[in-house]
Amino acid sequence: DSGVTQTPKHLITATGQRVTLRCSPRSGDLSVYWYQQSLDQGLQFLIQYYNGEERAKGNILERFSAQQFPDLHSELNLSSLELGDSALYFCASSGRQASTLGSTDTQYFGPGTRLTVL
């Protein structure tokens, strides 16, 4: 158990809908990362938040957005869903100390949320 929790575990929805995925980082971790794992794209970095602020952005679609709340949990919002958005979405956390930001952070991954768009 990595200490990172993600809910829900599975999500089935229809095209055009909007969903919210939730992540709770390890206790004390300040950074949260979102990754997408799909058969055609593999594991891809979406976005990173550090202590409530966006820190880095990857190949995240404009239909997707994220935020990190004061209690450090994070939510990934996916809207106008398409069939191709079906994937496993992982959250990871790192950085229990402010001084480790951007240095040798080790990312610990949650179990993922499997999204199926029908």
Partner 1 sequence: AQSVTQPDIHITVSEGASLELRCNYSYGATPYLFWYVQSPGQGLQLLLKYFSGDTLVQGIKGFEAEFKRSQSSFNLRKPSVHWSDAAEYFCAVGGGILTGGGNKLTFGTGTQLKVEL
Using CB under 8 A, list all residues that contact partner 1: 2, 4, 31, 33, 35, 42-45, 48, 55-58, 90, 92, 94, 101-112
The distance of closest approach from Cβ of residue 85 to partner 1 in the complex, given in angstroms and rounded to an integer, is 19
Which helix (DSSP H) or strand (DSSP E) does residue 23 occupy?
strand 19-24
64 versus 90: smaller Cβ distance to partner 1: 90
Which residue, 43 or 118, is less far from partner 1 as judged by CB?
Answer: 43
Q: Cα-atom radius of gyration of the chain, to the nearest Å?
A: 14
Smallest distance, partner 1 to C-beta of residue 38, A: 12
